[in-house]
Structure 1
Amino acid sequence: MKRINVLIVDDSAFMRKLIADFLTEDPRIHIIGTARNGEDGFKKTIELKPDVVTMDVEMPVLNGLDALKLIMEKNPVPVLMLSSTTKEGAENTILAIAYGAIDFIAKPSGAISLDLHKIKQELIEKVVSVSGANIKQLVKYPLEKKIPTNSPQNYSKIEPTKILGQKDGFQPSRKPTDSKIVCIGTSTGGPRALQAVLTRLPSDIPAPIVIVQHMPAGFTHSLATRLNHLSQITVKEAEDGEILQKGTAYIAPGGYHLQVMKKGTSLQVKLNQAEARNGHRPSVDVMFESLSMIEGIEKVAVIMTGMGSDGSKGLTTLKEKGDVKAIAESEESSIVYGMPKSAIATNLVDEVKKVDLIAEAIIKYV
């Protein structure tokens, strides 16, 4: 059995020891080294060539974000961020994912979390899962984009993604109606995949978009804010009871299932904190199953990068009950080829596309 070599980067000696003790409880994991700041972490990543790096965000000398950028530029490796749940921490975490971090774990109670044992199992599972991630795609699909000039924030200086639409000579295959919806499910690697897709959709897309991204409470708002600044469509965190609008994407808040219900001739968001499904709340299956109950609506279901199989059962239910086109992300572009692989295994997927071609497929069907 090949062991997973892990480098732990944290400015707290206590946290370094705690993380190391937790991870080494799993026989698959070997701690190859530790580092006390970002500069030390970057040097040891080059020197030790770990399979996974766990990286604190706030550190002296060189912080986690700057160290991450150097690592992804010089020696790309799966980096798992450990972040606080403050507003600033959430924003930095979303930036870290944009810079190339593969996933993150929220510390339960700040920089020095004495109750870190609460996330021990999640930490072990994520280290194991990201160790096999498709790291080449983080380099192949650099998704940092320039914010539109009317935005109050400026996250980067790279040109925006070209928006697909009729100006490009691309004609949607169906006439716009009020009876279509796009539903997207994703997990590990999802924020980057969502950026690739949503930034390529035109503002006048004739359908609402509902999204489940596996992410804890407090982080989905920052993700929605960032994607809204980058996209021509409106992107927001979903609110309970709101009526879905065309040209708007709604991201399920962390910790809440998102369901879609019929209200008169409109579609309405329903949020709840019912039991997690297969460890997930929000769950893609729960969202898909709610949509399967709505008749007279054409659905486009999209499943992208992520570990596990969330979405596959819901896709089966959708296909049994209505007019559904299903798109799955290809293995070639998936950071973690779990959820798309499981969806494709149902033999119900209509198209398998690289992440940068999924928006075009969505437009074709709506």
Structure 2
Amino acid sequence: MDEVLALAIKVLVVDDSAFMRNMVSRYISEDNALEVIGTARNGLQAIELTKQLAPDVITLDIEMPVMNGLDALKRIMAEKPTPVLMLSSLTETGAAATIRALQYGAVDFIHKPSGALSFDLYKVKQDLSEKIKTAAQVSLRNLLKLKYSPLPKNQIPSSKRGLPPRHLIAIGASTGGPQALLTVLQGLSADFPHAIVIVQHMPSPFTASLAERLNHNCSLTVREAEHDARLEGGCVYIAPGDRHMNIAETGGVCRIKLHQRPSKGLHMPSVHELFTSVSALQGLKRHLVMLTGMGSDGAEALAEGKAAGAATTIAQSKESSVVFGMPRAAIETGAVDYIVDLEDIAAKLREVTGLPSLSLSRE
């Protein structure tokens, strides 16, 4: 038994609700690979116990007295960097705070169960165990490199915005994706004339908050995708968390098609679904990009897309990934053209779509 505990992932549970602390602790303890080594009822206690106990992973509530989860997260990442999973409510306010937490350094989030008699309590159990195990494996070094750096919104739209794009960039991401997406999109200037479509593994309503946050902090127009919307140059579309996103071409016009039909991919939204639909397009030059994330969603479709004539396939490097699962799976297909560090992906996208580098364009 002592050997099992020695190898177990050590977890600190932080929540102002005694019921929630007990419930989350019980669910964690039912997995032999996990061990709760302490609990805290506010952010200040969480900081102190993080330093004292050195947990492998922290589950952190957002709304707490004395010090809230966001403030505690920023202190923890500055003083004792540790993988953190946020416990988030499904409210609009909770979703917005969760996206801020991801950009401040949290690895991922878990839906906060809604009550003692709710089925949510059971549904969250497996998600909790899986995400704690994933969080324990992340590259803290790469996570810490993704510093949140707000940029003023460029109010001058691209001259190409609103026009049909000639190139389409499709991006898949999961764990670590929100931070990685911010880095990529901030690296593209306001004059970027092409359309970008993104699947980030994340449920609704969090995808709407993600789109809003990205839109506020990069020069491009970012929005949550709407069914039958026409793709426009200079715009970025995030798949809604409760639907798959396909791109269909009719009469030379590309439109977004959202659906909930069964998919080969295990996730909704699915990178596999997006890449498969993009690969079938003929009127656009297509570029497929795989960012950080657990699992292999989209790897097979990326390889099929390359065989079908995709102009470029890119995977984020291991050295810059928070979780290397999805990029590794893509690379292992043998269909990736470029393995690129995260901070260089925007420059690579400008290059492969025929745009000058930003340093040259500003001379």
2:167 is matched with 180
1:118 is matched with 123
Unaligned runs of 5+ in 1: 152-164, 166-175
1:171 is matched with none
Correspondences of 1:184-203 after superposition (within 5 Å): 184-203=171-190
Is 2:165–2:232's contact at 8 Å kept on the other side of the alignment?
no
Change in 2 beyond 3 A, CA 1:102/1:112: farther
Q: 1:313, CA displacement in angstroms?
A: 1.1
Could you list the per-position Cα deviations for residues 142-184 of structure 1 after superposition, in whole angstroms to 9, with x for gaps in the alignment?
1332433869xxxxxxxxxxxxx9xxxxxxxxxx994320000
Give the Cα–Cα distance (whole angstroms) in 1 for the partners of residues 251 and 230 of structure 2: 11
Give the Cα–Cα distance (whole angstroms) in 2 for the partners of residues 242 and 133 of structure 1: 36
Change in 2 beyond 3 A, CA 1:177/1:185: same
1:140 is matched with 145
Q: 1:276, CA displacement in angstroms?
A: 5.2
Correspondences of 1:317-356 after superposition (within 5 Å): 317-356=304-343
Change in 2 beyond 3 A, CA 1:109/1:275: farther
Change in 2 beyond 3 A, CA 1:311/1:209: same
Is 1:5–1:50's contact at 8 Å kept on the other side of the alignment?
yes
Runs of 4+ in 1 over 4 A off after TM superposition: 110-114
Q: 1:295, CA displacement in angstroms?
A: 1.8
Instruction: Report the identity percentage.
Output: 47
* DSSP 3-state at the match of 2:137: coil
Is 2:115–2:121's contact at 8 Å kept on the other side of the alignment?
no
Change in 2 beyond 3 A, CA 1:87/1:111: farther
* DSSP 3-state at the match of 1:327: strand
Structure 1 position 36 matched with structure 2 position 41: yes
Q: 1:13, CA displacement in angstroms?
A: 1.1
Q: 1:260 aligns with which of 247, 250, 268?
A: 247
Structure 1 position 101 matched with structure 2 position 106: yes
Q: 1:226, CA displacement in angstroms?
A: 0.9
2:269 is matched with 282
Give the Cα–Cα distance (whole angstroms) in 1 for the partners of residues 222 and 175 of structure 2: 20
Q: What's the Cα RMSD here?
A: 2.1
Give the Cα–Cα distance (whole angstroms) in 1 for the partners of residues 38 and 246 of structure 2: 44
* DSSP 3-state at the match of 2:55: coil
Q: 1:324, CA displacement in angstroms?
A: 2.7
Q: 2:12 aligns with which of 7, 11, 14?
A: 7
* DSSP 3-state at the match of 1:347: coil
Change in 2 beyond 3 A, CA 1:58/1:345: same
Q: 1:320, CA displacement in angstroms?
A: 1.7
Change in 2 beyond 3 A, CA 1:114/1:263: closer
Amino acid at match of 1:106: H
Change in 2 beyond 3 A, CA 1:344/1:45: same
Give the Cα–Cα distance (whole angstroms) in 2 for the partners of residues 113 and 42 of structure 1: 31
Change in 2 beyond 3 A, CA 1:197/1:267: same
Correspondences of 1:71-110 after superposition (within 5 Å): 71-109=76-114
* DSSP 3-state at the match of 2:60: strand
Structure 1 position 302 matched with structure 2 position 307: no
| TM-score normalised by structure 2 residue count | 0.90
Q: Whose helix fraction is larger, Structure 1's or Structure 2's?
A: 2
* DSSP 3-state at the match of 2:345: helix
Is 1:300–1:325's contact at 8 Å kept on the other side of the alignment?
yes
Give the Cα–Cα distance (whole angstroms) in 2 for the partners of residues 314 and 236 of structure 1: 24
Could you list the per-position Cα deviations for residues 66-123 of structure 1 after superposition, in whole angstroms to 9, with x for gaps in the alignment?
1101000001110000101111101100111111101001224379967321111111
1:169 is matched with none
Could you list the per-position Cα deviations for residues 304-350 of structure 1 after superposition, in whole angstroms to 9, with x for gaps in the alignment?
00000011011011012113311111111111111001111111111
Amino acid at match of 1:127: I
| TM-score normalised by structure 1 residue count | 0.90
